[in-house]
Structure formats: C-alpha cells, structure tokens
Amino acid sequence: MKGSVFGRGFLGTRIAEELGYDLPDIDVLDIKALRAYLDREKPEVVINTVGKTGRPNIDWCETHREETIMGNVATAMILGSICSEKGIYFVHFSSGCVYQGDNGGRGYSEDDEPNNYTNVYTRTKIYSEKMLMDLPCLQIRPRMPVDERPSERNFIDKVKKYTKLIDEQNSMTCVPDLLQALKMLIEKKALGVYNLVNPGTISAAEIMRMYKQIVDTNHGFEVITAEQLDKMTLAKRSNCMLNTSKLENEGIMLPDIHDAVRQCLLRYKENLGK
Ligand SMILES: NC(=O)c1ccc[n+]([C@@H]2O[C@H](COP(=O)([O-])OP(=O)(O)OC[C@H]3O[C@@H](n4cnc5c(N)ncnc54)[C@H](OP(=O)(O)O)[C@@H]3O)[C@@H](O)[C@H]2O)c1
C-alpha cells in the first residue's frame, strides 16, 4: 500500500522507515501545498504524527499555547478532513495521556471518557481526538514511547537525564511493538480509537533500575513522590493505566511491558556504540 507519514519527528521518522512510506517535508497548515502533494502522490494511507510535543518536554506547551493548539488541533482537523474528502485511509496519533488514574485497577478502555484536562498538551490531544471521531479514521494512543534506538525523545533518554524520578505505575509503549501493531491495524483498515500500549504497567524508576543493570552500572538517581514532582514542573504529569483488551480482541498480542522494556534496553546498549 502506498502511504505517507506527516510529521518528521521521533515517531514519524521511525514509522516511515519501517513501513516504507513517504515522509514529505510539508507544513500541514499550508493547505494548498498539502492538497497539491496529495493530488500528485495519491497515497492510499496517510499517518498523522504531526504535533507540538514540547522541547525539552510538555512544559513548553504551557508557555506556547497558540503554537500548541495550531500544531496539535488545527493540523489534525486539516489532515483528517482532507483525507476524508479524498477517501484516503487516515491514521491519527493521539495519546494515552488523555487519562489520569488506573480506573479502579481495570485500566481505561477506549469507551471511557478522557479525564486528564490538567495541561495544555493533553487538552489539545483530547480536542483533536473528539473532533476526529466524526470522521472515518483510526486513532491510536501510545504512551511514553520506549525505544531500542537512542534519541532525545526516547523515554529511556528522557529519564536517564533526570536525577530525581517517580516510582508511579504507568502504561507505556515499546516502539518496536507499536510498529508491528500499527502495521496490523493498517492491514485490517481498522477504524476508531485504540490504546496502543504494552500490557501491564511499569514506573520510570523501575526502568532506570533495569537500565542500571543492563546498560550502565554507574547510573544513579533518587526516587521522589508524584507530589514532589508536581512542584517541579509547569504542566502536571499524568500517571495512568490503559486497558489493552480492544487490541487483543483484534488478535494483536504485545509482550508484557517488563519483557518489552528489557528487550529494548538490551538492543539500546548495542545501538549506543553505533
Ligand atoms: N513521544 C511521545 O511521548 C508521545 C506519546 C504519545 C503520543 N504521542 C503523539 O505522537 C505524535 C508524534 O510524536 P513524536 O514524539 O514523534 O513528536 P515530535 O518528535 O515532536 O514530532 C512531531 C513533528 O511534527 C512536526 N510539526 C509540527 N507542526 C507541523 C506542521 N504544521 N506541519 C508539519 N509538521 C509539523 C514537528 O516539527 P517541529 O519540531 O519543527 O515543530 C515535529 O517534527 C504526536 O501527535 C504526539 O502527541 C507522542
């Protein structure tokens, strides 16, 4: 299938390489250029990984509200509407951070209303997700992507820079598993919202304990509480657990998050030297 990925960032680059899709250098807000590209290239699948995710982290979104809304909501609206009009299968990257909490231990399923309105970034993800529910598209919700390749956006690289970490349980996504699941969902031409996280939960501190064992025995950090972290950040961070039954009911079985992170760390160590 001929496909195009918009958003030449961390996930977009990985997806375009894995699926062999085009990765055009187009500002999605430039509707004329976008239409010209789609009319010329005629992709059957468009994946939207465009976004303002904040550098070095989502605190940036709190102080750059207009850019965040344009980058996360307007771009999704433009790409979703034009793909729908042209009959192109559209895949949008939402986020599992639309939730806060563990839903009484069950994890949040795709039918549960998002409940994390605590910061600008997650609000834009909720608004774009809701808007796209009126169009035929697949929306996937990854969370805290852990990858086998070093990169500033890889959760491993993000947290290894911090000397203070929380030990709260969270749903997370290993990128190699995300790529396989995404391929399967596209082959099925699945529609609707899917939580795309590995089963089980893990904490940032647990990952760094594994990192210390596998990658760097000298690595050190201190564990702090979620309340202490809240006082150190502009945007309140979400800790949440997502339910993965919908993905499993499609026959897409991802490895448990602990096994998946271990595999990522082993390959991450090999890739560090390259
Ligand atoms: N990584 C995560 O932790 C995570 C977790 C869950 C969900 N997601 C979602 O997954 C998607 C991709 O995330 P990511 O980590 O790959 O983010 P990323 O590395 O920040 O990539 C986003 C890319 O979109 C580009 N972009 C922004 N506005 C654009 C526009 N108008 N036209 C074209 N490109 C534009 C950005 O370019 P500039 O840098 O020049 O702005 C950047 O290259 C986002 O929707 C994000 O919300 C990410």
Could you give the domains of the chain? 3-272 (3.40.50.720)
Residue owning tokens 């303002």 = 52
Q: What is the dihedral sign for C-alpha 36, 42, 48, 54?
A: negative
3-state helix, strand, coil in the chain (%, to 5): 45, 15, 40
Please state, in angstroms and as integers, the Cα–Cα distance from residue 266 to each residue in 19, 26, 87, 145, 176, following that order: 24, 36, 42, 16, 13
Phi then psi dihedrals of residue 55, to 5 deg: -125, 130
- How far away, in angstroms, is 48 Cα from ligand 1 center? 9
- The whole-angstrom separation of Cα 233 and Cα 117 is 16
* Ligand 1 center to 56 CA (angstroms): 13
Q: What is the pLDDT along the chain (274 residues), one digit of tens a residue?
A: 899 999 999 999 999 999 999 999 999 999 999 999 999 999 999 999 999 999 988 899 999 999 999 999 999 999 999 999 999 999 999 999 999 999 999 999 999 999 999 999 999 999 999 999 999 999 999 999 999 999 999 999 999 999 999 899 999 999 999 999 999 999 999 999 999 999 999 999 999 999 999 999 999 999 998 888 788 887 777 899 999 999 999 999 999 999 999 999 999 999 997 7
Give distance in angstroms: CA of 220 to centre of ligand 1: 30
Query: Which residue do the tokens 């992709």 mark?
Result: 43
| Atom of ligand 1 at shortest range from CA of 28 | 32
| Ligand 1 residue neighbourhood (C-beta within 6 Å) | 6-12, 27-29, 49-53, 71, 75, 93, 95, 125, 142-145, 153
- The alpha carbon of 9 and the centre of ligand 1 are apart by a number of angstroms equal to 5
Task: Measure the CA dihedral 8/203/126/158, to 10°.
Answer: -30
Tokens of 264: 């990522």
